[in-house]
Amino acid sequence: MADKISKEQRSLNMARIRGTDTRPERIVRSLLHRAGFRFRKNVKSLPGKPDIILPKYKMAIFVHGCFWHQHPGCHRSTVPKTNRQYWIPKLSGNVERDKKHLSTLESLGWNVQTIWECEANAASEVVLALIEKLTSCVPES
Ligand SMILES: [Zn+2]
């Protein structure tokens, strides 16, 4: 019985890891939605496929997993001790790609925000500060 529960929990965890609609993204979106912002999600036409864009503010938001995108200084971004010859280039490749996407988006005039999964809970000061910033800034059109 105990094994069955842990198996279910495990597949739930895996779904969470694989899914494109991750929990942190949902939290950020629902905060934005509640604050009355219009946005689009998973925008494939832009570099790096931003998780959320606010077209009116020309803002692109990435909600990054701390491990896959190597959140600097975060305990969740620890490189696994085994198989390091696989993980190190893989993870640093992700970081390099993120940097490239960010600078391409910025050169196209987008304001890019990165929200880390460890910060994206309902009480998150980062998300609330972002909403406050958007509320106080005047949209371009
Ligand atoms: Zn983190």
Q: How far apart are CA 26 and CA 63, in angstroms?
A: 10
Looking at residues 96-104, what average pLDDT do you find? 98
Residue 113 Cα to ligand 1 middle (Å): 15
126, pLDDT greater than 90: no
Residue 115 Cα to ligand 1 middle (Å): 9
Residue 27 near residue 121 (C-beta atoms within 8 A): yes
Residue 130 Cα to ligand 1 middle (Å): 17
Place of tokens 């880390």: 116
Residue 77 near residue 70 (C-beta atoms within 8 A): yes
Q: What is the mean pLDDT of the chain?
A: 85
The mean-pLDDT minimum among 4-13, 24-33, 86-95, 122-131 falls in 4-13
135, pLDDT greater than 60: yes
The span from the first CA to the last CA of the chain, in angstroms, equals 59
Residue 135 Cα to ligand 1 middle (Å): 26
Residue 45 Cα to ligand 1 middle (Å): 27
Give the number of other Cβ atoms within 10 Å of residue 4's Cβ.
Answer: 8
Residue 137 Cα to ligand 1 middle (Å): 27
Residue 117 Cα to ligand 1 middle (Å): 6
Residue 17 Cα to ligand 1 middle (Å): 15
Q: How far is CA 73 from the centre of its chain?
A: 16
State residue 133's pLDDT score: 84
Residue 33 Cα to ligand 1 middle (Å): 23
Encode pLDDT of 37-90 as tens digits: 999 999 999 999 999 999 999 999 999 999 999 999 999 999 999 999 999 999
26, pLDDT greater than 50: yes
Please give the residue that has the higher pLDDT: either 69 or 9.
69
State residue 136's pLDDT score: 81
